[in-house]
């Protein structure tokens, strides 16, 4: 399966929203912070110096991931998903590797993410890529009610 990774472009707002609403509502519920980000990714992500990557198969976006700059020279990965029909095909790994590569190219020293302990396939992916738990004394509570696992990778 030939899947490409590309940067978010004007007009991708709807597919970005749809991809994220799909996974969030399947496992959790949309929160105010989700609605804010999904309603205006230009301001909430791109306007803050962030990036949005899309995984594309035959012209259709089938996955995505955000990269939001952190103080201290890192990125927080978020809103990472692959549409249900394409899960298990290695697309999540491809998106994650692309995000890590772009973080390195940007000179980042760390990549951070929050997830939930019930998302077992995602946890396995992150751990296999080299993410480690954030030490308890450095955990900052998530802005999302579902965030209960905090992982990082030093580059």
pLDDT tens profile 84-105:
999 999 999 999 999 999 999 9
Model confidence at 147: pLDDT above 90: yes
- In terms of phi and psi (left: phi > 0; alpha: psi -120 to 50; beta: otherwise), the region of 132 is beta
HSE-up of residue 145 (Cα within 13 Å, Cβ side): 8
Per-residue pLDDT tens digits for 37-63 = 999 999 999 999 999 999 999 999 999
Does any domain span residue 83?
yes
Does any domain span residue 151?
no
Does any domain span residue 89?
yes
Query: Tell me, what CATH number does 68's domain have?
Result: 3.40.630.30
Does any domain span residue 125?
no
4: which strand partners? 56
Per-residue pLDDT tens digits for 118-136 = 999 999 999 999 999 999 9
- What's the rounded Cα separation, in Å, for the pair 125 and 19? 19
Could you tell me the pLDDT band of residue 1, with boundaries at 50, 70 and 90?
confident
- What's the rounded Cα separation, in Å, for the pair 125 and 7? 22
> Could you tell me the pTM of the whole model?
0.96
- Provide the pLDDT for residue 151: 98
Mean predicted confidence (pLDDT) in 72-79: 96
């Amino acid at each position: 399966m030939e899947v490409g990774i590309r940067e978010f472009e004007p007009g991708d707002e709807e597919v970005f929203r749809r991809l994220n609403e799909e996974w969030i509502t399947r496992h959790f519920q949309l929160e105010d912070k989700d609605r804010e980000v999904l309603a205006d990714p230009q301001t909430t992500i791109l306007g803050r110096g962030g990036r949005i990557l899309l995984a594309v198969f035959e012209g259709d976006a089938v996955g995505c991931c955000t990269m939001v700059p952190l103080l201290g020279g890192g990125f927080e990965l978020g809103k990472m998903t692959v549409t249900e029909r394409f899960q298990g095909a290695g697309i999540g790994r491809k998106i994650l590797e692309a995000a890590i590569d772009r973080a390195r190219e940007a000179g980042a020293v760390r990549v951070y993410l929050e997830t939930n302990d019930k998302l077992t396939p995602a946890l396995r992916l992150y751990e296999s890529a080299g993410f480690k738990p954030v030490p308890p004394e450095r955990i900052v509570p998530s802005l999302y009610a579902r965030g209960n696992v905090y992982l990082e990778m030093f580059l």
